[in-house]
Amino acid sequence: MSHMYTRLNAIITTIGLCVISNSSFAASISVSAATSLYNAFQDIAKAYVQQYPEDQVQLNFGASGALLQQMQNGAPVDVFASADQQTMDQAQARNLVQAKDRINFVNNKLVLITPKKGGVTVRSLKDLQQNGIKHIALGNPAYTPAGRYAQAAMEQAHLWNKVQPKIVNVNNVRQALDYVANQSAEAGFVFGTDAAIMPDKVSVAITIPTRKPVSYPIAKTVASKEPAAAYRFIRFIRSAKGQQILKNYGFQGAS
């Protein structure tokens, strides 16, 4: 398990990825983004710097709620991208972002995954009650959007109280993905784009309907010291090039 935790810690903790041009930069921006955006945003940051070589981008990933707490505690952030509306609503309520600066830029879907090899058969949420499933990896609903979506789905199916003893609360969707991939859990809830990263190790058992679309908002923060560059980065994400990169990773266009 040690190698798994080593890998997990690289995502759970604050991650700084600097994409720096060879020339002197005009602006350095810090982007805090939901863990499910990890791969796509690394590619986006590189493509952005190629187009705007005067800028520098630092990426920070984590559960949306954890990133919100970091901003609340004074972490310098220019752009915030969360995996749900609720977290961005909280950021707005705390005056960390303004309504005029937030916009939905991509959609995702919630899925239930099982190990690719030797996994149990799951055709519906009710199958989570079977004896073969002893551990269900789930991002802590207190601060992970995927966890909240999953809890709501299980409550709607009248299963939450029945399967709660099996729930293993993890820090984010990538940790849930790793638990299932390493067969430390027989099932787990992640976003579709997370499952697509390990098609050789996990299978998507079912796609979970959600009451509201799994839409991702992004916003320049109120405390941004580089507002022009922050807006420029957001425009790039919404451009055809940025959207294509997101699509390459399985994200869907914002509705």
Instruction: Check whether 202 is labelled as a binding-site residue.
Output: no
Nearest to 65 by CA among 156, 171, 192: 171
Strands 110-115, 187-191: pairing kind: antiparallel
Instruction: Check whether 63 is labelled as a binding-site residue.
Output: no
One-character DSSP codes across 152-168: HHHHHTT-HHHHGGGEE
The three state secondary structure string of 27-41 is EEEEEEEEHHHHHHH
Instruction: Check whether 239 is labelled as a binding-site residue.
Output: no
**174 neighbors 38 (Cβ within 8 angstroms):** yes
Q: Return the exposure string of 211-225: e unless at least 16 CB atoms fall within 10 Å of the residue's CB, then b.
A: eeebbbbbbbbbebe
Instruction: Check whether 2 is labelled as a binding-site residue.
Output: no
Nearest to 29 by CA among 10, 48, 51, 2: 48
> CA angle 200-140-214, nearest 5°?
70
Q: Tell me the binding residues for molybdate.
A: 36, 64, 146, 173
Q: Tell me the binding residues.
A: 36, 64, 146, 173
